[in-house]
Chains A and B, each alone.
Chain A
């Protein structure tokens, strides 16, 4: 069973079509990079996948649970890091994570243990009792990822998670997410417009003007398109207006 399946998903805001018959899937234990320029429809797609609003047409399924008819089961299986920061700046790191744990129904003692485990893994445990306002951009991102993992999701959704991070921070984050997928067998959908975040073992979906231009293994894209590099492949796929 696929971790995430989108079948002919279309969405419009008023008269403007943002997504047009988008179909692809993310297999368990795989990292799928959703590549697209700014305005390609990545964030709208994330909003639909996370149930913030429903697609006008098509279906979104998470481990077989349809987002439209069984959103609770679908949401329980996913951990989300939105492009826009969603931490409460007035609360401490611990208070933010406890709030998330409560929303996912975790018992207090379980939440405390997992909070420390995930923050420790991401090297931000020392900021546990600091207000989020005092954390750097990179630390806030790591806290958000730790938070997204607290309820042991089976798929991790990351919408441009490296925005605002420096190069070492971006590399560390990518390394961490790939490690999670290998170690825990969880799937990840990673939206980005940074081509250097794609590794050969990833799956890639190229989204342009609301349509899927290409989907498949990153190691095949250059050969299939007859280009020399991922940069060329991306340029070729997103050349049309």
Chain B
């Protein structure tokens, strides 16, 4: 693989992803409105009933809005990843996926480039949300906005790779939409996005264990800690490991010799 060719392909894939995203204004608006509704309505309601004791990385009691914002940022990445994977299934049904898969580059590279492009295109909205959240007095240190970037990218890649894996196993868009419902909601609700782990443990040890094992929880904590200039090595390693496992499994799923598509013949 020639480096110049690879970079041009990456640029082309990124450009296409950007154009498609910018032209789907409804998706852009809903991606922004969704976390704001959670922040403005859900968090406001919970603020009065959910007391939060000092939990790392916070060094004092914090408002529920402060707690929930990193989880909502991760939620944006999760929804973006799933929407991007749905677009891959759509591309496959519409035929345009063939163009990508018949490009003279290794398939792992093409899938990785598509994954990276999707994450990069989704990041500005997350930042916009973090800036808007300042209106609700969610004001992490300014340097935190920079420190959170690698955490957002890594988490976005991990969630995107998971979506890629799911898309490699889906035969039709209808199936994929169903899978999304079974994936997004359990992943989001059984995590530390909305409640800290000790709260979940109070509700039941099983739920706390599920949340602790849920890779999305670790993405949330990685983002939360980075936003407040802290680093959580366990979450980092879990997110990184999940990224590698999901991506490798997705590459196998799209492999011309081993993937399900070669056995079903409907690629």
* From B98, B261, B263, contact of A14 by CB (8 A): B263
Complex: chain A residue closest to B257, CB-CB: A54
Complex: chain A residue closest to B1, CB-CB: A72
Say which one of B3-11, B140-148, B154-162, B193-201 lies at the interface with A.
B3-11
Cα A64 to Cα B219 with chains together (Å): 47
A195 interfacial by beta-carbon distance below 8 Å: no
* From B2, B9, B96, B102, contact of A52 by CB (8 A): B102
A84 proximity list for chain B (CB < 8 A): 94-95, 98
| Among B94, B100, B106, B256: residue with most chain A CB under 10 A | B256
Say which one of B13-21, B28-36, B63-71, B182-190 lies at the interface with A.
B13-21
Which residues of chain B in 234-267 are interfacial with respect to chain A, using CB atoms and an 8 Å cutoff? 256-257, 259, 261-265, 267
User: Size of chain B's interface in residues, with CB distance under 8 A?
Assistant: 37
Complex: chain A residue closest to B2, CB-CB: A105
Complex: chain A residue closest to B103, CB-CB: A103
Cα A231 to Cα B103 with chains together (Å): 37
| Among A13, A51, A54, A105: residue with most chain B CB under 10 A | A105
Interface, chain B (partner A; CB < 8 A): 1-2, 4-6, 8-9, 11-13, 15-16, 19-20, 23, 94-96, 98-106, 110, 256-257, 259, 261-265, 267
| A82 touching B263 in the complex, CB below 8 Å, given contacts A53-B257, A104-B104, A105-B9 | no
Complex: chain B residue closest to A86, CB-CB: B95
Cα A103 to Cα B103 with chains together (Å): 6
Inter-chain contact B267/A53, CB cutoff 8 Å:
yes
| Among A13, A44, A103: residue with most chain B CB under 10 A | A103
B261 proximity list for chain A (CB < 8 A): 52-53
Complex: chain B residue closest to A50, CB-CB: B102
* From A47, A82, A85, A90, contact of B20 by CB (8 A): A90
A177 interfacial by beta-carbon distance below 8 Å: no
Say which one of A22-30, A94-102, A162-170, A197-205 lies at the interface with B.
A94-102
| A103 touching B267 in the complex, CB below 8 Å, given contacts A53-B257, A72-B105, A76-B104 | no
**A172 vs chain B, min Cβ distance (A):** 23
Cα A88 to Cα B87 with chains together (Å): 12
- Give the interface size bracket for A toward B: 35 or more
B23 proximity list for chain A (CB < 8 A): 90
**B207 vs chain A, min Cβ distance (A):** 40
| A47 touching B12 in the complex, CB below 8 Å, given contacts A53-B262, A90-B20, A95-B19 | no
Inter-chain contact B105/A68, CB cutoff 8 Å:
no
**A108 vs chain B, min Cβ distance (A):** 8
A86 proximity list for chain B (CB < 8 A): 94-96, 98-99
B13 proximity list for chain A (CB < 8 A): 99, 102-103
B96 proximity list for chain A (CB < 8 A): 86-88
Inter-chain contact A91/B104, CB cutoff 8 Å:
no
B104 proximity list for chain A (CB < 8 A): 71-76, 103-105
A21 proximity list for chain B (CB < 8 A): none
Inter-chain contact B19/A82, CB cutoff 8 Å:
no
* From A44, A90, A103, contact of B100 by CB (8 A): A103
Inter-chain contact B102/A102, CB cutoff 8 Å:
no
A104 proximity list for chain B (CB < 8 A): 5, 103-104
| Among A44, A74, A75, A89: residue with most chain B CB under 10 A | A75
Can you spell out 26 A-B residue pairs with CB atoms less than 8 angstroms apart? A13-B263, A18-B265, A44-B265, A47-B265, A50-B102, A52-B102, A52-B261, A52-B267, A53-B257, A53-B259, A53-B261, A54-B257, A74-B104, A75-B102, A76-B104, A82-B95, A88-B96, A90-B19, A98-B12, A99-B12, A101-B12, A102-B15, A103-B105, A105-B4, A105-B6, A105-B8
* From B5, B16, B101, contact of A91 by CB (8 A): B16
Question: Known pairs A71-B104, A90-B20. 18 more at Cβ < 8 A?
Answer: A52-B261, A54-B256, A73-B104, A76-B104, A80-B102, A84-B95, A84-B98, A85-B95, A95-B16, A99-B15, A100-B99, A102-B9, A102-B12, A102-B15, A103-B99, A103-B103, A105-B8, A106-B8
